[in-house]
Amino acid sequence: MNIDEKYVSEIVKSVIENMNTVTVSGNQKGVFDTMSEALSAVSKAYKEYRAYSVEQREKMIAKIREFTLNEAEVMAKLGVEETGMGRVSDKIIKHQLVANKTPGTEDLHPTAITGDRGLTLIEMAPFGIIGSITPSTNPSETVICNSIGMIAGGNGVVFNPHPNAKKVANYAVDLVNRAILEAGGPENLVVSVKNPTMDSSKEMMTSPLVKMLVATGGPGVVKTLLSSGKKAIGAGAGNPPVIVDDTADIEKAGADIVSGASFDNNLPCIAEKECFAFDNITDRLMESMVKAGAYHAKGSEIDKLLALALKKTEKGYTLNKKWVGKDASKFLKEIGVNVDKDVRLIICETDASHPFVEHELMMPILPVVRVKNIEEAIDLACEAEHGNRHSAHIHSKNIDNLTNFARAVETTIFVKNAPSYAGIGAGGEGYTTFTIAGPTGEGLTAAHSFTRQRRCVMVDGLHIV
Ligand code: NAD
């Protein structure tokens, strides 16, 4: 057994033995006491990394994929344990998705322009050191996904993870560094701080060493980054609606929506968060959802759920963070409902102005709103999406309905006749990412998003024709 394998197995053993009190201590690679130490370490590493070939980058990325697959379960358990949110089985799938479908250097495409006056070459160059702020909802997934894309682009990375998910995010930073070192890469190409705070975030954002900023989170962090004066990629909040019309395969639509909306307890920003169904199929749709594992809450149960999920203030409702990402069965137990099966999702019929429709709950509760026709469905769905232009979904076989909704809602991700996660490559074509940049327009980020274009011009000569 070599040192790294021994080190990993000790961590895994300690995590599993201490699942109630997660203690991932010891010297985590790339994780520093202060932001200034982290910045100077990554700066040194980036200088070394400039001399590495693309082939070497790929070797490092291959190791990150391998380690992520090996340690997916540990990170999934740690994530749920630390944040109290989500489902271990779904988080394992998220890590596998990141390992298998995050693009590497193949995502970088140079452009050549040739003509009478010679050759012009446009190459995708590193930005330098990238500062990345990560969320609590996909903490280690985002660290690994960003690391693969940013390293593929030739960059170094400094993370300021969400304070409520720092253990699992820093576990991922350590994993990435172990993988890089085993593949012969430089020390500390990806760094982080032990105790991320708003101050460490500010230090990172304002450091002259950091050339690009990437934020994955709610509206607050995206706004802060966009006012930084630096090149910034903002991946912000969503509130994805799903429409079901009367041409859809209703059984399949119900099952798909339960799968998508309950995935990791509705934490993913792309997950179905409110449903608009044609009046003439709503009952059938809700029955098919129950068949697929949902519980249909009615009457006072809905009021009790509302009292748990949202807090009423003078300014309206705000999210009760205590209940974000909790299991549906926990909600049901709290409101006094006993069920004898594993309920993945709670569905309830509401009107379009209900707070469950308005707010990005990130809880396994899906409001279903009856609509008369597609025009009403599209209007209400666009309103519920709040112009985030993040994600929207539809179940329909009517081409006009599919097209008209896509045009009206203008989201970065639009999934037709499948669970929402097909939009990030799980059961759908295309690569994956956990940083979906709607506000700044990069869309589904990958290595190319973390590069800058450089042009090299040679006038005359160098032709073979
Ligand atoms: P959050 O906004 O609370 O936190 C995200 C990160 O930003 C954290 O690291 C936090 O410490 C930091 N942060 C928050 N406000 C900040 C500020 N003013 N300055 C600097 N840093 C700040 O988000 P969360 O609860 O962890 O994640 C859920 C939110 O993120 C949801 O709104 C979800 O839709 C969104 N999200 C979006 C994507 C995407 O790809 N678009 C992916 C995941 C999550």
Residues forming CATH 3.40.309.10 domain(s) in the chain: 241-429
Q: Can you say how many angstroms the Cα of residue 322 is from the centroid of all Cα atoms in its chain? A: 21
> What CATH fold (topology level) applies to the domain 5-236+442-458?
Aldehyde Dehydrogenase; Chain A, domain 1 (3.40.605)
Over 90: is that where the pLDDT of 19 sits? Answer: no
pLDDT, mean over the chain: 94
Over 90: is that where the pLDDT of 14 sits? Answer: no
Over 90: is that where the pLDDT of 32 sits? Answer: yes
Q: What's domain 241-429's superfamily in CATH?
A: Aldehyde Dehydrogenase; Chain A, domain 2 (3.40.309.10)
Q: How many angstroms does the Cα of residue 217 sit away from the middle of ligand 1? A: 2
Over 80: is that where the pLDDT of 465 sits? Answer: no
The pLDDT assigned to 2 comes to 47
Q: Which residue puts its alpha carbon closest to atom 17 of ligand 1? A: 221
The pLDDT assigned to 340 comes to 81
Edge to edge, what strands does the sheet with 31-32 contain? 31-32, 190-193, 156-160, 129-133, 210-216, 231-235
Counting ligand 1 atoms within 8 A of each CB, the residue from 85, 94, 136, 435 with the most, and so the one to mutate, is: 136
- The partner residues of 347 in beta bridges, in order of sequence, read 296, 366
What is the pLDDT averaged over residues 280-296? 98
Q: How many angstroms does the Cα of residue 235 sit away from the middle of ligand 1? A: 9
Q: How many angstroms does the Cα of residue 222 sit away from the middle of ligand 1? A: 8
What is the pLDDT averaged over residues 328-337? 97
Q: How many angstroms does the Cα of residue 442 sit away from the middle of ligand 1? A: 17
**Ligand 1 — pocket residues by CB below 6 A?**
133-138, 161-163, 198, 201, 216-218, 220-221, 224, 235-238, 269, 360, 434-436
What is the pLDDT averaged over residues 113-117? 91
Q: How far apart are CA 88 and CA 461, in angstroms?
A: 60
The pLDDT assigned to 464 comes to 72
The pLDDT confidence band at residue 20, using thresholds 50, 70 and 90, is very low
The pLDDT assigned to 273 comes to 98
Q: Contact 452/429 with Cβ under 8 angstroms?
A: no
Chain segment 338-348, per-residue pLDDT in tens: 998 889 999 99
Chain segment 222-252, per-residue pLDDT in tens: 999 999 999 999 999 999 999 999 999 999 9
Chain segment 53-77, per-residue pLDDT in tens: 999 999 999 999 999 999 999 999 9
The pLDDT assigned to 5 comes to 53
The pLDDT assigned to 460 comes to 83
Chain segment 354-390, per-residue pLDDT in tens: 999 999 999 999 999 999 999 999 999 999 999 999 9
Q: Which atom of ligand 1 is nearest to the CA of 390?
A: 41
Which of 9-18, 417-426, 429-438 is predicted least confidently? 9-18
Counting ligand 1 atoms within 8 A of each CB, the residue from 83, 263, 269 with the most, and so the one to mutate, is: 269
The pLDDT assigned to 24 comes to 52
The pLDDT assigned to 242 comes to 99
For residue 31, CA distances in Å to 46, 78, 239, 384 come to: 16, 17, 34, 40
pTM of this prediction?
A: 0.94
Number of CB atoms found within 10 A of residue 443's CB: 14
Which of 16-30, 86-100, 308-322 is predicted least confidently? 16-30
- Looking at the chain, the whole-number percentage of residues with pLDDT higher than 90 is 91
Residues forming CATH 3.40.605.10 domain(s) in the chain: 5-236+442-458
Helices (H), 209-293: 219-226, 250-262, 279-291
